[in-house]
Amino acid sequence: MEKLKSLLHEYPKSTNIFMGYGTAGFRARADILPWIMIRIGILATLRSKVKRACVGVMITASHNPECDNGVKLIDPHGEMLDQTWEVYANTLCTLDDDINIIWDYVETLMIQLNIQPNDEAIIGIAYDIRQSSPLLASIVKRAAQALSTTIMDFELMTTPQLHYAIRCYNDDDLNGKYTEADYFDKLCTAFQNLIFMTSSNKSFESLAIDAANGIGAIKLTHVRRILANFIRIDIYNDGTKGLLNDKCGADYVKIYQKAPDGLPLKNYSKCCSIDGDADRLIYFFIDENNQFRILDGDRFSVLFALFLSLKLQEAKLFDDVKIGVVQTAYANGRSTDYIINTMKVSVACVPTGVKHLHHKALDYDIGIYFEANGHGTVLFSDDLKSKVKAASEDPKRTEKERLAANQIRTFINLINETVGDAIADILATEVILFLLNLNLEKWLNFYDDLPQRQLKVAVKDRTMIQTIDAERRCIAPAHLQDRIDELVSKYPSGRAFVRPSSTEDIVRVYAEAITQIEADKLAIEIQKVVEELIN
């Protein structure tokens, strides 16, 4: 109690600030975050006690600028914090800096959740390369230690590395421990094995990676070294010159549809950008007409689904396996059409935010999910893993069937199933392109995107907008959806929606149509309606 009390005194709560635990945890300017970290140390301790398992605390503001930071909790299987606990996080943060008030709430939670004071707690803490990160991590650590919690201090890590590490500690099948060497060995061995299984004598074209001046740059050097005999990887924006996420990184490339600074694009036929904590990935290249072309999250869904359904067919497992793609409303309409009608793979649409996609993907034996922004992964059910293993070892099957089953089995090891992992996704993408003999141009030519436009609307109260149907329709304010429907109906292949942002105090508008001019026009018309009905 005394230790907590002095921490509360050392890092007092900023006045008049309400922060909500959103899809990205708590995120704000780094200098106003210290007091939040005390609450996070307490909350993580309680979560660990309840789950009787190790939980994670990741300190990062992902693709935001260097001056920001953030924090989120990771549950025992490496997944996002359970939603009911977001409420406890928010309540803790509304409480004043009074140790008695805070302790009363902790005791209430302990009774409610049946936590005994002597239950053990263990937390793994990691952070990205922001200057503010070590201090914030030390506050979480001191708060948790005040409650006798055991700390594993991972220091610098990508977000997906910590998700994976936490799962390792809680899963006996994954050795019950994590080392960075094991993590890279798992990914790189799977990569090499998939290459060895292929008879092709083709070689890899080199890959230029824009690492957003973030933690990914440091971690990618391991992959570059281990795979040096297979693929040449050149890392740009590696933190030696530029600023974190400044005119570079996956978010910048996707939003501005522009090449990042600091990368000699013309020297490469294959380039990609990851974001500041290495959980998003976007590929791009310059085409023969000198145009900048981009491959976003929708394209990864298509590529991964294509590869996995092909291998399921070759292994004669396709009919026994439920494979599906999970998208959000931001997925380009043409990608959805292509997956459903050409690839004959089912598609589900869920609200924005990784936790929603991840949750839905668990409904499938092979659940592929990507947000258009490049965050995504693939989940494989235990049943699928057993089936593939059995098929790969079944002497009654043909060699081709066994090989395909073995390729799926190996591919599973190349994926970080806990969360979108840009490093794992780069390796998976490279392997698929290699095995299917594709280059970026051929991959892009699977289908043409519908032109789209995204706009922001500043409003007094964004909560006035309420959505249903995976954010594709509005039920409040009254008449907004009717007006949107009326506008959309004037545009062939038009589609549009509005939703309140979960990370900024704004409303977002999305529109797509047959031409860029029409998509722009539709977005602006809807923007005006939102302004009229809300402000």
Which of these, 230, 224, 240, 236, lies nearest to 265 by C-alpha position? 236
Which CB, 27 or 167, lies closer to Zn ion? 27
Which residues lie near ligand 16G (CB under 6 A)? 23-24, 352-354, 371, 373, 375, 501-504, 508
Dihedral sign for Cα 510, 379, 305, 441, please.
positive
199 annotated to a ligand binding site: no
Residue 8 identity (one-letter amino acid): L
Element (H, E) at 156: strand 150-156
Nearer to Zn ion, 62 or 309 (CB): 62
Please report how close the Cβ of residue 27 comes to ligand 16G at its closest, in angstroms.
8
Of the pair 223, 281, the CB lying nearest Zn ion is at: 281
Largest alpha-carbon pair distance within the chain? 70
Q: Which does 275 bind (CB under 5 to 8 A by kind): Zn ion, ligand 16G, none?
A: Zn ion
Closest distance between ligand 16G and the C-beta of residue 353, in Å? 4
The string over 194-226, giving b where at least 16 C-beta atoms fall within 10 Å of a residue's C-beta and e elsewhere, is bbeeeeeeeebeebbbbbbbbbbbbbbebbeeb
Residue 330 CA to residue 373 CA, distance in Å, equals 9
Instruction: Tell me if 62 is assigned to a ligand binding site.
Output: yes
Residue 277: which of Zn ion, ligand 16G, none does it interact with, CB under 5 to 8 A by kind?
Zn ion
Nearest-angstrom CA–CA distance, 503 and 508: 11
**Min CB(533)–ligand 16G separation in Å:** 20
Residue 279 annotated as part of some ligand binding site: yes
Whether 62 sits among the annotated catalytic residues: the reply is yes
Min CB(277)–Zn ion separation in Å: 4
Which of ligand 16G, Zn ion, none binds 311 (CB below 5-8 Å, type-dependent)? none
The response to whether 508 counts as a known ligand-binding position is: yes
> What CA–CA distance (Å, rounded) separates 53 from 84?
18
Q: According to the annotation, is 500 in a ligand binding site? A: yes
As measured in angstroms, the least distance from the Cβ of 18 to Zn ion is 24
> Which H or E element spans position 129?
none
Nearer to ligand 16G, 402 or 508 (CB): 508
H or E element in which residue 26 lies: strand 26-29
Q: Which residue is nearest to Zn ion (CB)?
A: 62
Contact present, 339 and 302 (Cβ < 8 Å): yes
**Separation between Cα atoms, residue 160 and residue 80, nearest integer Å:** 11
The alpha-carbon radius of gyration of the chain (Å, integer) is 24
State the distance between the two ends of the chain, measured CA to CA, in whole angstroms.
Answer: 47
Annotated binding residue 180: no
Question: For Zn ion, which is the closer residue by CB, 231 or 272?
Answer: 272
Q: What are residue 116's phi and psi, to 5 degrees?
A: -95, 145
Q: How many helices (H) and strands (E) does the chain have?
A: 18, 19
Q: How far is the CB of 129 from Zn ion (least distance, A)?
A: 13
| Residue 163, CA distances (Å) to 97, 183, 353, 372, 508 in order | 31, 12, 16, 21, 29
Q: Is 157 helix (H, G, I), strand (E, B) or coil?
A: coil
> In terms of CB distance, is 420 or 500 closer to Zn ion?
420
- Residues in contact with Zn ion by CB under 5 A are 62, 275, 277, 279
- 6, 14, 48, 62: which is the annotated catalytic residue? 62
Is residue 499 a known part of a binding site? yes
Going by the annotation, the residues of the binding site for substrate are 371-373, 499-503, 508
Going by the annotation, the residues of the binding site are 62, 275, 277, 279, 371-373, 499-503, 508
Give the catalytic positions in this structure. 62
Going by the annotation, the residues of the binding site for Mg(2+) are 62, 275, 277, 279
